[in-house]
Structure 1
Amino acid sequence: MSQRQLIAKVGNKNMEAVRKPLRITVPPFDNSELIQSYDKTLIGKCMNPSEQDVKALIIMLPKIWKMEDRVAGADLGLGRFQFDFNTEEEIEEVLKMQPYHFDYWMISLMRWKPVMEKSYLTEITFWVRVLGVPLQYWAESTFGGAIGHVVEVDLDFGRVKVVVDGSQCLSFETIVDFRGGEFYGRGEEPISLRYEKDFWLLYSLLQPLS
């Protein structure tokens, strides 16, 4: 290859590297019926798609739910998948069983919606026991906060249902400032967090994603 040919080849590669992506505009149309057709759809994402077999997941999850004949799954690519349900009761039943894991890694599963936030499909719902809270602070306002978005507080068992970002490491300990309320005698103290569902595979959330 001549020097001129080599320079031309390198130049073409540089041009390809800086070439702007194509921009396509979808013309306006009424998609309300299309959106409505997905109102009973759950959409999910594998937290480590290089290690998780989505096709096997689509077969196994309905068996775990005991809904093999009532749920239709599809592989959306890039580690994403969806399941279409027949009733709201089925969806609620499945979401109550969170969190889920497959092939030793966590998966995110949530309702499909047409407008998505940045954290969409990385969110995972956990019940978390909060250990070490003094009895005089045993109130809804004490629990939650820094752990994640609080969905529900269960004071009977000292736990909270939270939505956390599954792309980040889990926190197993937090510092709580107890100087509020009627009693001001305590300061900051460490509080332990225990994520429910007795599976040791939570280590997966502590590993770097591929």
Structure 2
Amino acid sequence: MSAAMDRAMMAMSIEEEDVPVEIPNRPEYNSKEMGKAGRIRGVVVSNERFQFFFKTEHDLEEILEKGVQTSNEWAVAMERWVEKEPVGFLQFVPIWDQIRNLPPNYYRSQTIWDIGDVLGKVQEIAFDESKNQSHPYVRIKVIFDVARPLRKTKLVNLPDGEQKIVTFFYEKIQKRCYNCQRLNHEKDVCPLIIRERQDKAAIRKEKYLAAKREAELILAPDDPLFGVLKEDQVGVNPLTGRPKIDPAVLEDMRYYW
């Protein structure tokens, strides 16, 4: 072993000191209150809506430019307040997405744009064809409809006939419904799961009622008169309270049929 290697081995330690990372108390390190402490106030409008007041137009525009904001790891849709809300108000969020697994020779702005259209309206592509690509992905900014599921992959047909599956990673997006991949509810209250439960409950109820009706039949399937008489021809007449057909007559019919 060389002297240099020996010194390197001696310097190594299994119990290396684990020094914490120090986070400075500066706005660029902390997203609390959108980095505008003391320059913004909020008003609760409803259980799901809040209105924020900024001291300057610059602060408002800066927040809107940053893209999607989060609260307790849930994405928050933010838009400039208007007196009359248009259709789709607070329905869309700007999201930076990473497109991965794209073949290097297809790193072209138009290719990236077309793939991004699958996710939403493309606003920006952080890609320059004239510069080196230092990451195994391309970043795009899309306006995403929160009522749509987050797509994880997309099959791409290449000109040479080959197919490639590209993957998507959504920056700053943490919580979502892990059943339908939507951003506007948790899995416990997913409409698809609730509908599935309701459908199953309706099927169980129908089976129960069918079994109950069958148990209450006077003319059971194994009755000799089953198919000869109709169910509404037997039983008790609700108007008179008397049997529609005398029980003794029914028994004779069963015997001779």
Decide which structure has greater strand share.
Answer: 1
Percentage of matched positions with identical amino acids: 24
Matches of 1:176 and 1:145, distance apart in 2: 13
The Cα of 1:162 is off from its aligned counterpart by 0.7
- Structure 1 or 2, whichever has the larger Rg, is 2
Which of 81, 92, 103 is residue 112 of structure 1 equivalent to? Answer: 81
Q: Which residue of the partner structure matches residue 58 of structure 1?
A: none
Q: Which runs of 5+ in 1 are unaligned?
A: 1-60, 180-184
Q: Secondary structure at the match of 2:150?
A: coil
1:153 aligns with 2:128: no
* Aligned with residue 50 of structure 2, among 71, 76, 81: 81
SS across alignment from 1:190? strand
- Whether the 8 Å CA contact 1:62–1:71 is kept in 2: the answer is no
Which consecutive residues of structure 2, in runs of 5 or more, have no partner in the other structure? 1-29, 128-132, 195-257
Residue of structure 1 aligned with 2:170, choices 185, 195, 206: 195
Aligned equivalents of 1:82, 1:129: Cα separation in 2? 31
Q: 1:107 deviation in Å?
A: 1.7
Which residue does the alignment assign to 2:240?
none
| Contact preservation (8 Å) 2:73, 2:174 | no
Q: What is the aligned counterpart of 2:153 among 173, 176, 181? A: 173
Which structure's residues are more often helix, by fraction?
2
Question: SS of the residue aligned with 2:95?
Answer: strand
Q: Distance in 1 between matches of 2:33 and 2:39?
A: 13
For 1:96 and 1:202, locate their aligned partners in 2 and report how far apart those are by CA, in whole Å.
23
Give the Å deviation of 1:189: 2.4
Between 1 and 2, higher relative CO (CA 8 Å, sep ≥ 6) is seen in: 1
Would the aligned equivalents of 1:176 and 1:188 in 2 still touch at CA under 8 Å?
yes
Aligned residue number for residue 13 of structure 2: none
TM-score, structure 1 as length reference? 0.57
CA contact (8 A) 1:62 1:68 kept: no
SS of residue in 2 equivalent to 1:160: strand
Q: Which residue of 1 aligns with 2:95?
A: 126
Give distance in 1, aligned partners of 2:31 and 2:138: 32
- Number of matched residues? 144
TM-score (norm 2): 0.48
